Amino acid sequence: MLQDDQQQLCKVRRREGATASGIRENSEHAHTDCVTIAGMHDVDPSILALYRVLDLIGVVLNGAIGGTIARQRNFDIIGFAFLAIFSALAGGMLRDTLMQRGTAAAIAQPSYMGFAIAGALVALVIHLQGRAWELFRVHGDAIILGVWATTGSIKALSYNMPAASAIFMGVLTAVGGGMIRDIAIGTTPAVFGGNTLYATPAIAAASTMVAFHQVDLDAAGMICGTVVGAGFAIIAYWRGWVLPVHSDFAPVNMTASQLKRLLRQAESAGRRDGMKQGRRIGRRKGLRRARKEGERAGVTAERDRWIEALDEGHLPAGEHLDITVRPNDEQSATKDQRQTTDQHPHR
């Protein structure tokens, strides 16, 4: 929808310029407005053409996604068509309606509805299911998410809207169609929780585009925003990332008794953890202490066994001494033997 948005913006500016000056703008000035788009810088026409192609692919893909949901709900061909249009175009319609800058692009260009219904017809004649379709749908939708979040923020920035509004418009463009579709079939919109991250990657993509726009790098912002949003959504799918849900968390509404009970529970949990850790440490210390005491007892028993045996004039059972007396030491050995006899006369 980016190219159509540019054309509409050019028309609006021509009308505003003619009203202010009382004369029609010349063709050269009008052409310059159509190319620059209110401060968008260094955007190559080939990049805009690429985004135009991706935009149309996204319309067909989301039309097919709406058609698969219509098949699951046993809707007729009218249900297929409406869910396809909601899925593919409702986000941009909501954005353009809130911005109030002319007719919504999806209405002004009938080709968009044609592409959305074409996606519905694909889902009508082909039963899209299985792992292959799931992978194609997730990865393709992630890329289109990044594209639509980026282009939605671009359109808001082209009308000099503040950064927060531009981010919101980008996110609404990316997820608004799915929200309207889910509401139409009576279910809670998937972006409200319980599913892998979807709106969060759109916020990342739109924020990236806004950040690059602040430094006059719109072309780089379009590419980086799309890559950030698509990559974030794909990683979130494979890793199962979801935002936490705290249905019981309301600290402002807690009474003093509730806070006291929570504190006691936390204290009890901490005490139990401390006792468990203390028992583990005690067991480790007890084993070391028992090992040391056993070693000391063994040394004492062995020493007593040797003393008792030597007092009785023999070596302990199972022990022997290997003593070799050399000729030069015979006198010394005799002397030692005599001294031993004097010390132990009962020998």
pLDDT of residue 245: 79
Give the whole-angstrom CA distance, residue 69 versus residue 57.
19
Asked if residue 38 has pLDDT above 90, the reply is: no
Q: Give 230 or 259, the one with higher predicted confidence.
A: 230
Helix, strand, or coil (residue 326): coil
Q: 179 and 4 in contact (C-beta within 8 Å)?
A: no
Average pLDDT (61-66) is 96
pLDDT of residue 339: 53
The pTM assigned to this predicted structure is 0.64
| Strand residues in 106-221 grouped as ranges (E) | none
Q: 156 and 165 in contact (C-beta within 8 Å)?
A: yes
Helix, strand, or coil (residue 140): helix
Mean pLDDT, the chain, integer: 79
Q: 176 and 191 in contact (C-beta within 8 Å)?
A: no
Asked if residue 61 has pLDDT above 70, the reply is: yes
pLDDT of residue 25: 36
pLDDT of residue 32: 33
Region of poorest pLDDT, from 13-22, 53-62, 79-88, 291-300: 13-22
Q: State which amino acid sits at residue 211.
A: A
With 0-12 / 13-18 / 19 or more C-beta atoms within 10 angstroms meaning exposed / middle / buried, residue 34 is middle
Band (pLDDT 50/70/90 cuts) for residue 335 is low
Give the whole-angstrom CA distance, residue 20 versus residue 14.
10
Average pLDDT (143-167) is 95
Region of poorest pLDDT, from 150-164, 184-198, 220-234: 184-198
Secondary structure letter of residue 54 according to DSSP: H
Interaxial angle between packed helices 163-184 and 199-214, expressed in degrees from 0 to 180 and rounded to the nearest 10:
160
Asked if residue 19 has pLDDT above 70, the reply is: no
